[in-house]
Structure 1
Amino acid sequence: MTLSRRKFLQSTIKSVILIGMGNALPAFMPDNFSLPDRKNVKLRFALASDGHFGEPKSEYAVLHRQMTDWLNAEAKGRGLDFVMINGDLFHNDPALLPGVKAAWDQLSVPYYVSHGNHDMTEEANWQSVWGTPFDHAFTKKDIGFITLNTADIKGVYTGPDLAKTQAFLDAYKDKQQVFVFMHITPVKWTKYGIDRPDIVELFSRQANLKAVFHGHDHDEDGMREKDGKYYFWDSHVAGTWGTAYKGYRVVEILKDGSVLTYQTDPSSAKQINNNRIR
């Protein structure tokens, strides 16, 4: 029997949370949840991370093709304005850069990248391949997106540059909303996170900052909250450890200003850890 879209969602959603006024409150339960009408979505994007292209004992080539197929299907279906590949694109050896670039070029929509701790190459080389420096920003429909570097070229966890972070946030202070992409979390919530209270303080003060998105922790696919700001993970594309599934996160920015985000497990056609931000 073929499930309707509504029944499919009812059977696969793990949790739904409405975030607003500095609090995370239950908004609606899976048995009455459905995606908003597409005409009410202002901007829609997906995040994937940690492909570790070239990692020994990993089926990285197959898994990259699998992920680009899934994301292209997402784009063909409900639509995607862009994809963010949030760090650890390749595994240590900069000679792998052309191969991973060719893999992600199979996407049918524009995509952006962030630098991860395993992306061990000089910034000039990185920019020659991807067209952006480690730290960069862009706008779409009066929404600001900031991409911050969190590691040096030897893989040492550093967290973002404070001055660059402040400059980007200042430049986008009048945008309708701001989102940050950074590979490593700035709070030691996870085994591989680091504490950067100076960065967290900047985020906490930025009134229009809606969410921060991470990779790095392959076994994380949920959300944390700090000072009324929300931090998300998206599982992993490949690699030799992490969640049992390979997945990606979808973010829908709605015309009313709220933000719906959910993590997907495409291999079993699931949506999990759904969150809505107002």
Structure 2
Amino acid sequence: MSNRRSFIKGSVAGVVLAGLAPSVSVMAVTGHDNGATSGRKPKLRFAIASDGHYGQPGTDYKKDHENIVRWLNEAHAKSPLNFVIINGDLVHDRPDLLAVVKKEHYDHLRVPFYAIPGNHDHADAAIWKSVFGYEDNFSFEKNDIGFVLANTSDTAGKYLCPNNDFLKQELDKFKELKAVFVVLHIPPHFWVPESPFVECPDTIKLLHSYPNVKAVFHGHDHSLDAVFYTNKLPHFFDAHIGGNWGTSYRGYRIVEVDDENKISTYQVNASAHPLLNETKF
């Protein structure tokens, strides 16, 4: 697994790409997050991370989770976060550990957090609500920005398209907002060979039909930390928190929205190892 698509380096460190999509820019940061990119306090700032795989045999999963909580708390201390989103695979095939990872790790975040299931969580609406207090498909609004989070798996770990009826219902609810973000653990489109994704043309068509859907965030593929597109809609990845394969570093993504609803996002190489795109000559 660690060699899967080894030709994909995933990182875009040190590169700023403006105009990738309407009002969205993207970059990457090596080392710890140093705060807002614009120098001004954004109206909304959040972090998104995925794939902790708590309980995976042969991995130092407790240390991985101690690290991510510490890194996110440090980022919050430097430039306040409104909240954190954990985008799936919180545990590794052990839904009984969901309450453990929440209590022993994520509850120690100094900001609110939201979580959505991945295929390794083996969770349905009842399991998710019993641990987190909300179901596996939910939405919320913060500072006039809408968030729609949908499950893309089941208790057997099957890769699924999201519930499009739910997506439409929530996107309709937020249709007057200037910006909406969608969070799906498993991506609904194949961009690269041997992708562990699903092809969901109806989902893509639905997302494209709402101009205020500005970005979609995915986990699942630990080797990806950059951006792909369906038409002009950006789909962002954030590497991984834990597990035994993927990028050689652990990290997370920061998203900022300013008062004019311009969006910036950057990937943080939180473990700062290795250096990204290092060249010697």
Q: Does 1:95 align with 2:90?
A: no
How far apart are 1:123 and its partner, in Å? 2.3
For residue 16 of structure 1, what is the aligned residue in structure 2? Answer: 16
Over 3 Å counting, the alpha-carbon distance change for 1:13 and 1:137 in structure 2 is: same
How far apart are 1:253 and its partner, in Å? 0.6
Instruction: For 2:259 and 2:148, locate their aligned partners in 1 and report how far apart those are by CA, in whole Å.
Output: 21
TM-score of the two chains, using structure 2 as the length reference: 0.85
Over 3 Å counting, the alpha-carbon distance change for 1:122 and 1:178 in structure 2 is: closer
Aligned residue among 208, 233, 236 for 1:204: 208
Identical residues among aligned pairs (%): 40
User: Quick check: 2:23–2:262 contact (8 Å CA) kept in 1?
Assistant: no
Instruction: For 1:255 and 1:272, locate their aligned partners in 2 and report how far apart those are by CA, in whole Å.
Output: 32
Quick one: which amino acid aligns to residue 15 of structure 2? S
Instruction: For 1:147 and 1:212, locate their aligned partners in 2 and report how far apart those are by CA, in whole Å.
Output: 10
User: Quick check: 2:248–2:274 contact (8 Å CA) kept in 1?
Assistant: no
Quick one: which amino acid aligns to residue 259 of structure 2? K
Quick one: which amino acid aligns to residue 66 of structure 2? R
Over 3 Å counting, the alpha-carbon distance change for 1:173 and 1:72 in structure 2 is: same
In terms of mean alpha carbon deviation, does 97-106 or 47-56 score higher? 97-106
The secondary structure found in structure 1 opposite 2:38 is coil
Instruction: For 1:262 and 1:228, locate their aligned partners in 2 and report how far apart those are by CA, in whole Å.
Output: 18
Runs of 4+ in 1 over 6 A off after TM superposition: 23-27, 269-273
For 1:115-160, what per-residue CA distance to the aligned partner results, in whole angstroms no more than 9, with x for missing partners? 1001113421211111110100000011100001111111001110
How far apart are 1:269 and its partner, in Å? 8.3
The secondary structure found in structure 2 opposite 1:97 is helix
Structure 1: runs of 5+ lacking an equivalent: 1-11, 28-33, 274-278
Indicate the RMSD between aligned Cα atoms, in angstroms.
2.3
Q: Does 1:232 align with 2:233?
A: no
User: Quick check: 2:24–2:264 contact (8 Å CA) kept in 1?
Assistant: no
Q: Which has the higher contact order (CA 8 A, sep 6+)?
A: 2
The secondary structure found in structure 2 opposite 1:105 is helix
Over 3 Å counting, the alpha-carbon distance change for 1:23 and 1:144 in structure 2 is: closer
Aligned residue among 244, 252, 263 for 2:267: 263
Instruction: For 2:26 and 2:55, locate their aligned partners in 1 and report how far apart those are by CA, in whole Å.
Output: 42
How far apart are 1:25 and its partner, in Å? 9.2
How far apart are 1:24 and its partner, in Å? 8.7
Quick one: which amino acid aligns to residue 18 of structure 1? A
1:121-140 matched pairs, under 5 angstroms = 121-140=123-142
Quick one: which amino acid aligns to residue 205 of structure 1? S
How far apart are 1:218 and its partner, in Å? 0.3
Instruction: For 2:204 and 2:251, locate their aligned partners in 1 and report how far apart those are by CA, in whole Å.
Output: 27
The secondary structure found in structure 1 opposite 2:271 is helix
Question: Of Structure 1 and Structure 2, which has the larger fraction of its residues in helix?
Answer: 1
For 1:179-235, what per-residue CA distance to the aligned partner results, in whole angstroms no more than 9, with x for missing partners? 011101111124111110100001111110110000000000000111211100000
For residue 155 of structure 2, what is the aligned residue in structure 1? Answer: 153
Aligned pair count? Answer: 255
Instruction: For 1:44 and 1:58, locate their aligned partners in 2 and report how far apart those are by CA, in whole Å.
Output: 31
The secondary structure found in structure 1 opposite 2:248 is coil
The secondary structure found in structure 1 opposite 2:17 is strand
Over 3 Å counting, the alpha-carbon distance change for 1:57 and 1:65 in structure 2 is: same
The secondary structure found in structure 2 opposite 1:252 is strand
1:186-205 matched pairs, under 5 angstroms = 186-190=188-192, 191-205=195-209
For residue 54 of structure 1, what is the aligned residue in structure 2? Answer: 55
The secondary structure found in structure 1 opposite 2:234 is strand
Instruction: For 2:273 and 2:246, locate their aligned partners in 1 and report how far apart those are by CA, in whole Å.
Output: 19
User: Quick check: 1:22–1:227 contact (8 Å CA) kept in 2?
Assistant: no
